[in-house]
Structure 1
Amino acid sequence: MDPDARARVDAIATRGRVAVVGDDSVVYKDECVFSFDAPLSANGVYVNCETLFGYGRRYVELDSARTGCGAYVRVKTTRARRAEVEASETPTTLGFGVDGGFASESDAWEETTTYSLVLAPDFDDVSRELPLEGLPEALSAACERIARKRGFHDTEETKAWQETREVSRYALELAQEDNGKKIPSDPSKWRCEETGESGNLWVNLSDGHIGSGRRHFDGSGGNGSALRHYEAMKAQGKHYPLVVKLGTISAKGADVYSYSPDEDDMVEDPYLAEHLRHWGINMVSMEKTEKSMAELQIELNKGFEFDKITEAGSKLESAHGPRLVGLKNMGNTCYLNSVIQALKQVPAVCDRYFDKDEIFSTAPENPVTDFPTQMSKLINALVSDEYATPEAENAAVAVCPRMFKQLVGKGHPEFSTGGQQDAVEYFQHLLETMTRAERAAGSRLSEGPPTAAQFTFELEDKVTCVESGNVRYSVRKDNILSLEVPLDKATNKESVDAFRERELKRAKTESDDVEEIVRPEVPFSACLEAFGATETIEDFYSSALKRRSIASKTTRVKTMPNFLAVQLRRYFVGEDWTPKKLDVLVDVPKTISLENLRAMGLQPDEIVLPEDETANTAASSAPVRVEPDAAIVSALMAMGFSENGSKRAALATNNASTELSMEWVFAHMEDVDFNDPLPDQSAASEPAMAASDPESVTMLTSMGFDETAANAALKACSGNLERAADWLFSHADDLPSAIAEVNGASTSADASEGAGSVSFDGPGEYELFGIVSHMGGNTNCGHYVAHVEIDGKWYIFNDRKVALSLKPPTDLGYLYFFRRR
């Protein structure tokens, strides 16, 4: 080591801040925290020997200036393609890098990684390849552990994502009747005991009944007699939940489904061989004759919906350049990828996060946990030309938003997992996360209203007492215009009905005739009309009449946002209480107007419903207590859900219907408080401190805030401690007024935070610029794709693949993005 290098090394050692890399230490050596540079990049990644954060070459000087660190371990990986192997067979497992699954990209390469010690200020000097003799002990140990230790992403994520199935809780003590029934081993002799059908047959493991399965998400399948048999047995007091798809039985296993409402999913049966042997089936000698449920889902890619949304069959021209950068799918993150591709087209997003080096220079000690840093990192990569070359699409270094996903999803029961999620829910969660972070960031970001305010609008609800004619107006905020799809307004209803009749005849006669599906075609204008239609409220208490009566309710848009996000409610809960998707075409036009839905406010000839006299008394000054509908709660409990969870669902949907409550259950059944008792509504009028968790209050007061501020923060953030801390710091400059607003607000402060505290207004004329489409039977499976208009041309963003779009699927979208014309 030359004298100059020796002197610098000694100075670093004397500084005494070299990290002690222990077993619990996290080393960010697989990706730059400010960019998507990785060890496979041209210059690799430089790991700070004090903080253990990694940086791309162009950010090393910035980090050294921020931290004062002068020693970095450079991690550089090179790769060579392995010898060609035979093309893999069609995948049979929903997974990556696993037997029978999709091939992993890295499987085709041989990689070699080298580690070098790099000293400031000549960071490009990488001649000192590790290990080096003569280094101070602390620095030598740190370099050695950095080189040996797995990177952050290797530690936090598994290489292979695979669909997992839980072991059924009913498998161990499954009841099996001794009724003498034996199932023949010859598949040609299998028949549905109710209809005589020979395909998609499921045997009930408890009584040996063979029934037809339900229709698949691709439109094929049976008539549901196996489920009807389960329900009939349940009505007799017999719980026979487990069924097996006969055609999938082999020595390797079979598809097992549990009809029990508390599972209602594909499951594992560890005792399957024993259970099948009871009915005369020897798994070892069986051969698979039908597609498994996983194979059917994979084959969906070849269907109408997938082909149309991804424009399969068209010779699409690959696109490259700024704003045309694809995102790597981390197993099931296409929902995130699609939302971000549309969101980056909002000027306010780029104005705040693109090309803002001050965000990085003012980043906190841990940039990985800082939303502005990670948002800026992602937007820079998508909008600039850094990763926009044609070579980048096939390069080893991909824009993979792992840090961003982990940060935004942290603590969330759904978005913190590796499973597929609802893109609409993620969009709203992202806006809420962004708003909190922007308030906390203060002067680090450009001034102005929260970015989410671009999508925030106000809805005006007008309730009219039918008898008296008196009215009541209320205003609420939202950031999604959610529209029902009225199937009864289909313009081709007669053709659809005729097709369904022919389908039923073919099913009864076991005809092999195949006909192209006739899908309902509903005009987008009908969806807007349904939104603005008058709703009847039964059993309405009229303060004008002093008794129960009937009221009508209409909803109008009070303020028109700069950017409008529209959701078409394609997903619903079927009669068998499983999530389903409307197979319907809604051709959304390129331009729309909401002016006919604009709220007009109180009119001169209207009389406001008087306040109830009893509301002025101290005893009744609290909000009206809302009770969960007993019928809805009973129906949900009959499906196996807890009483508390059923009550929460009924209240969350304002007792609208069992179906809507079930949809809420599917979305929230993993919430940590789903089965907790409901809070005492009688305490709603008490000060916020009465409802706050004492431990959370103590934690916040230990940060220097008084109890009043702590309770207000917890109230504003629904009791979430981490968010409450953010709220307090972000309102430090105007804390008294913020506390007063929370304690005096008539609407949920947390909800208004999520939607953005500011809403713009302007002409309600919009043009379409983004479509997020979903393929699959429900939002918990399948695949998302985005189509985005950029500089007058439409492009398809299918994860990493970006191409010029020939025909955007305007009639199959799930989430549409409009900008003001």
Structure 2
Amino acid sequence: MSARVDDDALAVCVRAAERGRIARVRDDQTVFKDECAFSFDSPLSAHGVYVNAETLFGYSRKYVALDAARTGCEVYVRVKTTRTLKPTSEGEAKDETPTTLGFGVDGGFASESDKYDVDTTYALVIAPDFDDVSRALPLEGLPETLREACEKIAQKQGFHDTEETKSWQEIREVSRYALELAQEDNGKKIPSDPSKWRCEETGESGNLWVNLSDGHIGSGRRHFDGSGGNGSALRHYEAMKAQGKHYPLVVKLGTISANGADVYSYSPDEDDMVEDPYLAVHLRHWGINMLSMEKTEKSMAELQIELNKGFEFDKITEAGSQLESAYGPRLVGLKNMGNTCYLNSVMQVLKQVPAVCDRYFDKYEIFQSAPEDPVTDFPTQMSKLVNALVSDEYASPEAENAAVAVCPRMFKQLVGKGHPEFSTGRQQDAVEYFQHLLDVMTRAERAASSRVSAGPPTAAQFTFEIEDKLTCVESGNVRYSTRKDNILSLGIPLDKATNKASVAAFKERELKRQKKEEEDVEEIVRPEVPFSACLEVFGSTETVEDFYSTALKRKSIASKVARMKTMPNFLAVQLRRYYVGDDWTPKKLDVLVDVPKTISLEHLRARGLQPGEVELPEDQDGAAMETSSTPAPARVEPDMAIVSALMSMGFSENGSKRAALATNNASTEVSMEWVFAHMEDADFNEPLPDPSELPSVSAPSAVNPESVMMLTSMGFGEDAAEAALKACAGNLERAADWLFSHADDLQSAIAQVNGATNDVGTDVDSTTLDGAGEYELFGIISHMGGNTNCGHYVAHVEIDGKWYIFNDRKVALSRQPPTDLGYLYVFRRR
């Protein structure tokens, strides 16, 4: 039975209703009741969360007074949750080893909600009075609008409680070929006894896939699912296709059970794991009764999960070592929301950059000046996350299993909004996320310059200039050009391994063991390449064929060498461990590169035009200078739909962007053909060069008229709207953000876009800092897995002279940082 609201509270409620701002909660509207907009307090916190009845944003008790002063709201709904561990009866213990890539699903990783009984209560609160004992909802006598708002706040799911918590579950699309799949009547029947299954080409008995169209049994691809194989199933598909027969769907025999099986589509427009809703019927055609089958091999999901049993996982996570847990300021773990270890690792390193803390840590004024919707405000969410990581507010010995966890869900959604990859729940490349985050941060700091500290943007701490020197071999004339970047991306020269003889001997022994089918196992001998060799490759001279020499007025040969023109305060170094193999699948170099704790780049510093050097003349005839085997990037943004499609096939973001630009954003198919023709180019995975140093390539300049109209309706001129859309690849939301962020220098920004002087691909800020090229290592981001679209990231960070491992929520003193297995290394100037 509900109680009546007391007279004092009723007077405030009537006043609030007369204000006319009580929220009328729509069905599609989010109520932010499960996390404070300014901190990581939740309903599970000691005081719960207080939801503004007008804006529907929740705040911890610490920030209610601030929000009331900002918005004028007096009426809040307090949300308080308690939870108790579910009892476990004797005999209920079960194997919790996951078999499905997902949270909260059968066979998946257990979510916290599966372990607890939860009780949530709602109460009316009048700010700044926090006495809610006698005002538990529902209450009688409330004004109608407020009563409806309170009911909706209690009924609706919160920001966390949506399907986002299950976003990590592996999603397999239904194959478009399943409904009308062709199946031959060739009399073939597949035995139900797994011991009788054999590859029809090689006789192998493991990792076998049956083609659902003609019953052919073939071997899977090596490295594709972590097991052996020779690819005969794929070769059979290609052979049938050459005969005009499209038989795309195959099933992994050893995974068939009453619960389903692994189905793969070889069709180029899918080329992925898929669902076949008619699988039972399709298998019955070949004599296989799913209901009577038992799984005999690991599924693709199980093989991916087992990545943690290898050398790489053990070494990076320091498995086997008695690690001492660590707690305190800067030692706060981050909850993994399924596939967000890439975000967690990047932020654990970034928080150690003084410029980040100077701008975002303990800046109460950022919250004071936040817009009414703080969830979509980058300075607010960045400050919220940095406060949590740097302070001791969420640091406790119970942090690893605490009810209240630092879970950067709002931050992830905001930074990834509108991006074809980072807006999803899939695993991502930490290096690409690092660069994207710096881009987002730069735009936000421009737009909110009055709210954040003055000075160069945060990204300037990492931005540097590279000087490229081209020398015409015949004439000896030179040309210098400069490009900007924020990642020093280094290739790994395997031919420079110091233990080549040992590696070769190991491979020979391994080959003999395989031929003799010996079962004894020897520890793998991996190539060991010095870090200095990677730097030598960066600074080495490259030969440029078909170079148009303006001195000779004809094509010739040139040499090209890169040097560091400026040395940033913080240097991010990527070791390119990932590549695309001969079978077009992403692979990883199994190599050790021991990166030293201190490095010097002064020997790579650019010197500019030297005495006696003669510059190549400008080409008066307008002939194009060809600087590499890669077609000159057009002065347009790459189509992110094409880039996303290519990245989903395993190609790098930089290579995908090059393909889109080189083909004038023609289509995914055309861009893919360009990739196959140029993936061996030395600069394929390099960041895109500054287009101001390259000749123009004609590109479509038209923008969507409807998008232009939307932007002009906001008060911007048509020329500004078109420039914004050009700069943002036609993305309306990003274009609006671009206009507001360039409000102080709009005409200059428009001229820059129309003159194509912006960087293509990475929005590296124009500000660069310079100093001595002497650096010391303080951060390592390592990746475990066959490619950056799966697996797991871990960060090692040096704090106050000690190294710590940050494995999502777990934080501990590190005994042996994996300096030889890192993917991204971050240095600070000594």
TM over 0.5, shorter chain = yes
Alignment of 1:412 onto 2:435: no
Instruction: Kindly report the root-mean-square deviation, in angstroms, between the aligned alpha carbons of the 2 structures.
Output: 2.8
> Which region of structure 1 is more displaced relative to structure 2, 558-567 or 508-517?
508-517
The one-letter code of the counterpart of 1:713 is: A
User: How far does residue 122 in structure 1 lie from its aligned partner after superposition?
Assistant: 1.5
Determine which of 549, 553, 567 is the counterpart of 2:574. Answer: 567
Q: CA, structure 1 residues 289+788, in 2 after alignment: closer, same or farther (shift >3 Å)?
A: same
Q: What residue is the counterpart of 1:33 in the other structure?
A: 37
1:701-752 deviation digits (Å, cap 9, x = unpaired):
222232333333334334333333233323333333333444445x325657
1:398-439 deviation digits (Å, cap 9, x = unpaired):
100011111111111111111111111111111000000000
Instruction: Kindly indicate whether the alpha-carbon contact (under 8 Å) linking 1:716 and 1:749 is maintained by their aligned counterparts in 2.
Output: no
The 5 Å alignment of 1:120-269 reads 120-155=127-162, 157-159=164-166, 161-216=168-223, 220-269=227-276
Q: What residue is the counterpart of 1:677 in the other structure?
A: none
Q: What residue is the counterpart of 1:645 in the other structure?
A: 668
Q: CA, structure 1 residues 780+357, in 2 after alignment: closer, same or farther (shift >3 Å)?
A: same
Q: What residue is the counterpart of 1:657 in the other structure?
A: 679
1:148-176 deviation digits (Å, cap 9, x = unpaired):
22212223624463112222233333344
CA distance, structure 2, for counterparts of residue 65 and residue 416 of structure 1:
33
The one-letter code of the counterpart of 2:777 is: L
1:234-286 deviation digits (Å, cap 9, x = unpaired):
44444333322222222222222223332222222233333333333333322
Q: CA, structure 1 residues 374+806, in 2 after alignment: closer, same or farther (shift >3 Å)?
A: same
The 5 Å alignment of 1:38-437 reads 38-84=42-88, 85-155=92-162, 157-159=164-166, 161-216=168-223, 220-437=227-444
Q: CA, structure 1 residues 663+510, in 2 after alignment: closer, same or farther (shift >3 Å)?
A: farther
The 5 Å alignment of 1:721-800 reads 721-744=732-755, 747-749=757-759, 754-800=763-809
Determine which of 467, 475, 481 is the counterpart of 1:468. Answer: 475
CA distance, structure 2, for counterparts of residue 627 and residue 390 of structure 1:
54
The 5 Å alignment of 1:421-820 reads 421-615=428-622, 644-648=667-671, 656-657=678-679, 681-682=697-698, 691-744=702-755, 747-749=757-759, 754-820=763-829
Q: What residue is the counterpart of 2:662 in the other structure?
A: none
1:538-579 deviation digits (Å, cap 9, x = unpaired):
111111111111111111111111111111111111111111
The one-letter code of the counterpart of 2:667 is: N
CA distance, structure 2, for counterparts of residue 683 and residue 183 of structure 1:
55
Instruction: Kindly indicate whether the alpha-carbon contact (under 8 Å) linking 1:217 and 1:776 is maintained by their aligned counterparts in 2.
Output: no
Aligned residues: 785
The one-letter code of the counterpart of 2:30 is: V
Report % sequence identity.
80
- Unaligned ranges ≥5, structure 1: 618-623, 629-635, 668-679, 685-689
User: How far does residue 596 in structure 1 lie from its aligned partner after superposition?
Assistant: 1.4
Q: CA, structure 1 residues 693+2, in 2 after alignment: closer, same or farther (shift >3 Å)?
A: closer
TM-score (norm 2): 0.89
The one-letter code of the counterpart of 1:130 is: L
User: How far does residue 223 in structure 1 lie from its aligned partner after superposition?
Assistant: 2.8
CA distance, structure 1, for counterparts of residue 334 and residue 351 of structure 2:
13
> Which region of structure 1 is more displaced relative to structure 2, 162-171 or 56-65?
162-171
> Which region of structure 1 is more displaced relative to structure 2, 30-39 or 155-164?
155-164
1:662-689 deviation digits (Å, cap 9, x = unpaired):
989xx9xxxxxxxxxxxx94368xxxxx
Instruction: Kindly indicate whether the alpha-carbon contact (under 8 Å) linking 1:115 and 1:147 is maintained by their aligned counterparts in 2.
Output: yes
CA distance, structure 2, for counterparts of residue 240 and residue 707 of structure 1:
51
CA distance, structure 1, for counterparts of residue 702 and residue 615 of structure 2:
34
User: How far does residue 643 in structure 1 lie from its aligned partner after superposition?
Assistant: 6.6
CA distance, structure 1, for counterparts of residue 287 and residue 707 of structure 2:
59
CA distance, structure 2, for counterparts of residue 6 and residue 74 of structure 1:
17
Q: What residue is the counterpart of 1:671 in the other structure?
A: none
Look up the SS of the partner of 2:162 in the other structure.
Answer: helix
> Which region of structure 1 is more displaced relative to structure 2, 408-417 or 715-724?
715-724
User: How far does residue 3 in structure 1 lie from its aligned partner after superposition?
Assistant: 4.1
Q: CA, structure 1 residues 516+232, in 2 after alignment: closer, same or farther (shift >3 Å)?
A: farther
Q: CA, structure 1 residues 750+356, in 2 after alignment: closer, same or farther (shift >3 Å)?
A: farther
Look up the SS of the partner of 2:160 in the other structure.
Answer: helix
Instruction: Kindly indicate whether the alpha-carbon contact (under 8 Å) linking 2:166 and 2:338 is maintained by their aligned counterparts in 1.
Output: no
Q: CA, structure 1 residues 739+655, in 2 after alignment: closer, same or farther (shift >3 Å)?
A: farther
1:477-529 deviation digits (Å, cap 9, x = unpaired):
11111111111212222222232233333333433222222211111111111
CA distance, structure 1, for counterparts of residue 260 and residue 272 of structure 2:
17
The one-letter code of the counterpart of 1:53 is: F
CA distance, structure 2, for counterparts of residue 483 and residue 362 of structure 1:
42
> Which region of structure 1 is more displaced relative to structure 2, 261-270 or 355-364?
261-270
User: How far does residue 464 in structure 1 lie from its aligned partner after superposition?
Assistant: 1.4
The one-letter code of the counterpart of 1:118 is: V
Q: CA, structure 1 residues 159+713, in 2 after alignment: closer, same or farther (shift >3 Å)?
A: closer
- Unaligned ranges ≥5, structure 2: 625-630, 636-645, 651-658, 660-664, 689-695
Q: CA, structure 1 residues 213+616, in 2 after alignment: closer, same or farther (shift >3 Å)?
A: closer
CA distance, structure 2, for counterparts of residue 518 and residue 625 of structure 1:
41
Q: CA, structure 1 residues 276+780, in 2 after alignment: closer, same or farther (shift >3 Å)?
A: same
The one-letter code of the counterpart of 1:462 is: K
CA distance, structure 1, for counterparts of residue 426 and residue 632 of structure 2:
37
Instruction: Kindly indicate whether the alpha-carbon contact (under 8 Å) linking 1:420 and 1:779 is maintained by their aligned counterparts in 2.
Output: yes
User: How far does residue 221 in structure 1 lie from its aligned partner after superposition?
Assistant: 1.5
Instruction: Kindly indicate whether the alpha-carbon contact (under 8 Å) linking 2:32 and 2:51 is maintained by their aligned counterparts in 1.
Output: yes
Q: What residue is the counterpart of 1:620 in the other structure?
A: none
Q: What residue is the counterpart of 1:11 in the other structure?
A: 15
CA distance, structure 2, for counterparts of residue 145 and residue 442 of structure 1:
37
Look up the SS of the partner of 1:153 in the other structure.
Answer: coil
Instruction: Kindly indicate whether the alpha-carbon contact (under 8 Å) linking 1:30 and 1:39 is maintained by their aligned counterparts in 2.
Output: yes
User: How far does residue 297 in structure 1 lie from its aligned partner after superposition?
Assistant: 1.3
Q: CA, structure 1 residues 135+649, in 2 after alignment: closer, same or farther (shift >3 Å)?
A: same
> Which region of structure 1 is more displaced relative to structure 2, 126-135 or 804-813?
126-135
